[in-house]
Amino acid sequence: MVRVARVLPFRTNRYVVDELIDWARVPDDPMFQLTFPQPEMLVPSDRASLARAEETGDAAALEATVRAIQRRLNPHPAGQVTHNVPTLNGRPLDGLQHKYRETVLFFPSQGQTCHAYCSYCFRWPQFVGLDGLKFASSETDDLIAYLRAHPGVTSVLVTGGDPMIMRAPLLRRYIEPLLAANLPSLASIRIGTKSVAYWPHRFVEDDDSDDVLRLFEEVVRRGKTLALMAHYSHPRELATPLARRALARILATGAVVRCQAPLIRHVNDDARAWSELWRTEVQLGAVPYYMFIARDTGARRYFEVPLAQAWEIYRDAVSSVSGLARTVRGPSMSATPGKVVVDGIAEIRGDKVFALRLLQARDPSWVGRPFFARFDPAAAWLDDLRPAFGEERWFFEDEEADTPNRRGRLLPVIEGAA
């Protein structure tokens, strides 16, 4: 466990340890798997390299070994560094990402940690000090200037890490300028958070909990939709009275709570767990939003679920809940071209295929467009798939290659974004 934690971040707290983990089931308990490093998260050759470096007693050699392993783990997937960093007047804005036309992600520098870390986290580079691989901004001036220059942006997602790690006055320092800036196109402010599951005290018992909720109320009074993008991975995270009280207090402010999580082997690769989770969310007033495929980064090989199995889990889970819970979309891959959902498995013209569709895309004209991949029972990510029906390339690859100057439509360079 210690050896894995040299490479991938580990952090937990008393609430997770005392309230969420069933220690009688360890190491198979899903909440233990979700938060504590497991030896198999690193491939045997990397574990052996770490062991050899530890035996030398050379701190510099050990650090070099750790960094080499980290860089092999695809630390920023889906073009986060190469495609998503916007520019303003020719200057890259390091604390922002802009992948989809309507939404800008903002990374407040003081919110780039969490109450506890998920062991599969795709944002693990934010926490391990890899040079040049951390998104963070300490001010909102660039964000507001960028929004003024891009009136097509209607939503800002404040993310991390976890913004709810910040004290109320600091969170207010980031949110209030968005309200004061008089941005008529800005319709919603979202906050991505796992605190609802890992530290519900944040909304109930912390000494500034009431101040946080008053800030939420202020956003709503100012005519903006406030959406907490709540990260619930397992029904147990909503089973405690404190977690339910936290959710109720958030909803009482007028905020909307939308729930999302990836499908993770050893944690929630079970249709019954998902259907229970979605039913509970609806019962408590939240909205099931996304079932994601775990991104191709970090300890992906330990946690990944083949796409065919992921679709079966989604199908079985969604078919056992009422229409109120069928707001959830998935299984969805946040890949380089956009959010690719697996709509199903079909046989067309004698070929067994995955039916795929883009729910979000760098080029808005791609949204909703169906496409097909040859069926592969082992495939776990878009890069594992090949186009069906004899096609050589995906349509989005062809369109980018054939029209390299269509910069008015491709989001990475729309209106000055890089």
237-256 pLDDT, tens digit each: 999 999 999 999 999 999 99
Residues with Cβ within 8 Å of residue 377, at least 6 apart in sequence: 306, 308
Distance of CA 147 to the CA centre of its chain: 22
Strands (E), 187-307: 188-193, 225-231, 256-263, 287-293
* Rounded distance between C-alpha atoms, residue 270 and residue 312, angstroms: 10
Average pLDDT for 24-48: 91
Tokens of 247: 């959710």
pLDDT band at 296 (very low <50, low <70, confident <90, very high): confident
How much is the mean pLDDT over the chain?
Answer: 89
Angle at CA of residue 69, ends 339 and 75, nearest 5°: 25
pLDDT tens-digit map of 82-136:
578 899 888 999 889 999 999 999 999 888 889 998 888 766 566 556 555 445 5
Domain ranges of the chain: 2-72, 87-416
pLDDT tens-digit map of 176-214:
999 999 999 999 999 999 999 999 999 999 999 999 999
In the predicted model, is pLDDT for residue 55 greater than 90? Answer: no
Of 307 and 296, the structure prediction assigns the larger pLDDT to 307
* Rounded distance between C-alpha atoms, residue 241 and residue 15, angstroms: 12
CB atoms within 10 A of CB 40: 13
C-beta of residue 357 within 8 angstroms of C-beta of residue 340: yes
pLDDT reported for residue 410 = 38
What's 387's DSSP letter? B
3-state per-residue secondary structure call for 99-159 = EECCEEEECEHHHCCCCCCCCCCCCHHHHCCCCCCCCCECCCHHHHHHHHHCCCCCEEEEC
pLDDT reported for residue 133 = 46
pLDDT reported for residue 132 = 52
pLDDT tens-digit map of 135-172:
556 688 999 999 999 999 999 999 988 999 999 999 99
Assigned CATH for 87-416: 3.20.20.70
pLDDT reported for residue 237 = 98
Nearest to 80 by CA among 67, 63, 65, 97: 97
C-beta of residue 410 within 8 angstroms of C-beta of residue 400: yes
pLDDT reported for residue 155 = 98
Q: State what percent of residues in the chain have pLDDT above 90.
A: 67
C-beta of residue 231 within 8 angstroms of C-beta of residue 163: no
> Which region, left, alpha or beta, applies to residue 296 given φ > 0 means left and ψ of -120 to 50 means alpha?
beta
In the predicted model, is pLDDT for residue 78 greater than 90? Answer: no
Distance of CA 347 to the CA centre of its chain: 32
What's phi and psi for 208, nearest 5 deg? -115, 20
Supply the pTM of this predicted model: 0.88
